[in-house]
Amino acid sequence: MIADLLTKLEEEKDQWIYNVIERFDGQKVERDQGPHTPEKQIMMIKKIEHSIREQKILDLKEMEIELKMLGKSMAEEQRILGNLEPALDSLEKERAFYESERESLNKIKFEKFQSVLDDKFEFDKRDQVVFKERRISKLMESYQMMEMEMLDFYQKQLSEIWLLLTRSMENISSTGKFDFETNPSVMELSLKHGRGLDQYIKLGNFEEDYWIVHDTLVENNQTVYDYYFNQINQFKTNAIEEITKLYNRKNEHMVAAEQQLLELRKKKKQDDARFLELKDQLSKAKQEWEQDSLRHQLLEDILKEEFVKTVTGWQEKLFAENARDEERWAYHQYCQIILKQAERMIGYEHF
């Protein structure tokens, strides 16, 4: 029995290689082909495939050399294009940059402070300031707090706008300066009844002084707002004018460069046509080479698949519950034999 099994396995040990050859070449392989063992046939196939790929690499190199020689006849035109196209791209980016800076300046807004004196006082059910807060000191303190809030509100905006204006001018390497005048002519507060005792005894006196404070704050707020708004508007106008001049200059350069580029492309159209034709031929040749290269990987994949299929079948029998020890030994030995075959044909690193 074991002799019959060994004879059978000896006959089958090369069958997986014949299967590989048949799958790869698509033709039935006759066994016992003279001195060429199945393993040698695989190695010959790999050698032939390698030679084909190497020859196609040589062909590709010859086409690349021809393409390079054709390029030399266009050297001067290509040199100009090589300089002009990046320059045109740079001009476009600069023009877009100036346009962006101009838009950023146009978006600068100066908001007006909202003066609400009522927030500083407590009111009763009759919508009148409660008696305990009808004091000169309270009224003056509220006025001063509102003024401080107003000045702080404008100062924060001025600082932010100054940074925007300065940064914009720095971006275009301008020497423009933005030094705000900070001395607006505001009204002094003059209360009509703010003398004597701190507490207002008469409601009418308090209300009259209250509206004096309110109107003074409103007028001063308008004065300060107009004072800084006019300066900001003038600074913005000057900066936008400077950026617009730079934008127009870049635009003129870009129009001239585009015209030069158009004329140059027209001049070299015939040479380009041949150049593109040869590039197309080279591209197709590379695709063919890549397709041929896939055959090498296909052979490797088929080898692995057939090896795994055969080993898997033998291992199932090796580990079968009813397998005898001598049968297990036989299957193990022949698994090792085709493993060595696979290592020689595929490469040890794959196992």
* Domain identity same for 147 and 238: yes
pLDDT at residue number 126: 82
In-domain check, residue 225: yes
Q: What angle do CA 252, 256, 260 make, to 5 degrees?
A: 165
* Domain identity same for 250 and 196: yes
In-domain check, residue 216: yes
* Domain identity same for 137 and 286: no
Residue 41: partners with Cβ closer than 8 Å, 6 or more residues away: 17, 21, 29, 33
Asked whether 306 and 19 are in contact (CB, 8 A), the reply is yes
Q: What is the mean pLDDT of each run of 10 residues along the chain (351 residues)?
A: 75 76 70 68 78 82 83 82 87 90 90 85 84 86 91 93 87 77 85 82 87 92 94 90 91 91 84 82 82 77 81 81 81 81 67 41
Give the domain range for residue 162: 108-267
pLDDT per residue over 58-95, tens digit each?
Answer: 888 888 888 888 788 878 887 888 888 888 899 898 99
* Domain identity same for 166 and 311: no
pLDDT at residue number 351: 41
Q: What is the DSSP string of 279-312?
A: HHHHHHHHHHHHHHHHHHHHHHHHHHHHHHHHHH
* Total domains present in the chain: 2
Q: Which of 110, 112, 191, 183 is nearest to 144 (CA)?
A: 191
pTM greater than the 0.75 cutoff: no
- List the structure tokens of 255: 């129009």
* Domain identity same for 68 and 141: no
Neighbour-count burial for 223-241, b at 16+ CB within 10 Å, e otherwise: ebbebbeebbeebbeebbe
pLDDT at residue number 348: 43
Q: Where does a domain end: 240, 267, 294? A: 267
In-domain check, residue 84: no
pLDDT at residue number 138: 87
In-domain check, residue 102: no
The greatest distance separating any two alpha carbons of the chain, rounded to the nearest whole angstrom, comes to: 133
Q: Where does a domain end: 221, 244, 267? A: 267
pLDDT at residue number 253: 92
* Domain identity same for 239 and 283: no
* Domain identity same for 157 and 46: no
**What is the H or E stretch that residue 265 is in?**
helix 203-267
* Domain identity same for 255 and 337: no
In-domain check, residue 65: yes
Q: Which of 92, 83, 80, 101 is nearest to 250 (CA)?
A: 92
* Domain identity same for 167 and 256: yes
* Domain identity same for 260 and 129: yes
* Domain identity same for 274 and 260: no
* Domain identity same for 259 and 274: no
In-domain check, residue 168: yes
Q: Where does a domain end: 267, 292, 308? A: 267
Neighbour tally for 332: CB within 10 Å: 13
